[in-house]
A and B are shown apart, each in its own frame.
Chain A
Amino acid sequence: MADERQLIERYQQGDQAAAEAIFRLYHPAIHNLAYRMLGGSSEVEDCVQEIFLRAFRGLKGFRGDASLKTWIYRIATNTCLNYLDKAKRRGPMDSLDAEVFDEGDATLGDTLASGERGPEEQVVGVELEEAIQVALDKLAPDFRTALVLRDVEGMSYEEVASVTGAALGTVKSRIARARAQAVRWLKDYLN
């Protein structure tokens, strides 16, 4: 994209307005990606700032071999995976323990794991969204990354492969397996 290239060149000369334009261009999507990857934890905002800081540091030497979108998403997914890794070492992330139902002490994570739900507990609307987020949180990081990039961000298989650095066949396999697991966890909510 010609405009994007101009923005990058202006940023490389230290133009703060160009930096802000790049930030505004990608911030909503990157925030959404981080939110879905980190399960809406309290660390999303910190992670997003870290992503852009890393991106702006690296952008000084950016030569345009990859598209800016692919390049920023690669930084974003790697940073999110680092955060997930750190969170895993600390303990479960807060969103997994979020209480979804008004009654009882069971969390949605428990409910999804146990599969014990009456008809009155069917999740709709906002609760379905939370159920999907819990399902995403339960996926292994590589599967979650592939599913979020493909189904949430709407990337093509080739773009997902470029962002994650995985082979196209691996990407197809990860997306298929992630979806199969999500179907198992969410099937009853959707019926």
Chain B
Amino acid sequence: MPQNCEECRSQLSAYADGVLSMDEDRAVHAHLIGCARCAEELADLMAVMHAVAALPPVPPREDPWSGLYFRLRREGLVRSRYMPRTRWVAAALLGGGALALSWNLLFPPAPAQMADLDTYWREHASFSLESEPVHMGAPALHAIEATYQLQGDLP
């Protein structure tokens, strides 16, 4: 159906975007061929559309991530990017303990230190070596005794 100028102009924007139905598109196209004023309207419209689309992107003057991150952290929306101090302290204590334990296993006490231990236990233990071991100190004393027997200097 032939269009008048008003109908055509109301559809120029959609025509320029290519979103009209096939019939509508054909009708506008047919009108534009025979109407210089509407064709000029379309040219102006497309010039503005291209100028707006060609606007350069505006780079931000500053990077707001740091400030935003701080606010997100404060609201509990994200976790810290660093390990909290308490976790560092706990990790250091565990690491130190493990190191001390492995040091004792790799380098056991010297015989002289063992003798000191022997004296200590003889003075403080509430049982004799002849008796059956009855509390937690006994296995250690028997171990010392066995060591001395191997060395042949048991008192």
Which residues of A are in contact with B by a Cβ distance under 8 Å?
A: 11, 14-17, 19-20, 23-24, 27-28, 31-32, 35-36, 40, 45, 48-49, 52-53, 56-57, 60, 128-129, 132-133, 136, 147, 150-152, 154, 157, 172, 175-176, 179-180, 182-183, 186-187, 190
Contacts and interface: CB of A to CB of B under 8 A. Distances in A.
B90 interface: no
Nearest to A175: B13
B58 A182 contact: no
B19 A45 contact: no
Contacts of B17: 150, 157, 175
Contact of B13 (A14, A17, A172): A172
A57 B13 contact: no
B47 interface: yes
Contacts of B7: none
B78 A32 contact: no
B61 A19 contact: no
Contact of B69 (A19, A28, A175): A19
B113 to A, nearest CB: 51
Measured as residues with beta carbon below 8 angstroms from the partner, the interface class of chain B is 35 or more
Contact of A179 (B49, B56, B81): B49
B143 interface: no
Residue among B13, B49, B80 with most chain A CB within 10 A: B13
A130 B65 CA distance: 28
B78 A152 contact: no
Given A157-B19, A172-B13, A57 B44 contact: no
B79 A16 contact: yes
Given A28-B60, A48-B60, A48-B64, A186 B48 contact: yes
B67 A180 contact: no
B51 interface: yes
A16 B80 contact: yes
Nearest to A172: B14
B77 interface: yes
Given A183-B45, A183-B48, A151 B13 contact: no
A26 to B, nearest CB: 12
Given A20-B65, A176-B12, A183-B48, 8 more contacts: A16-B79, A19-B72, A31-B59, A31-B60, A53-B71, A57-B77, A136-B52, A180-B45
B36 interface: no
A179 B19 CA distance: 15
A190 B53 CA distance: 14
A112 to B, nearest CB: 13
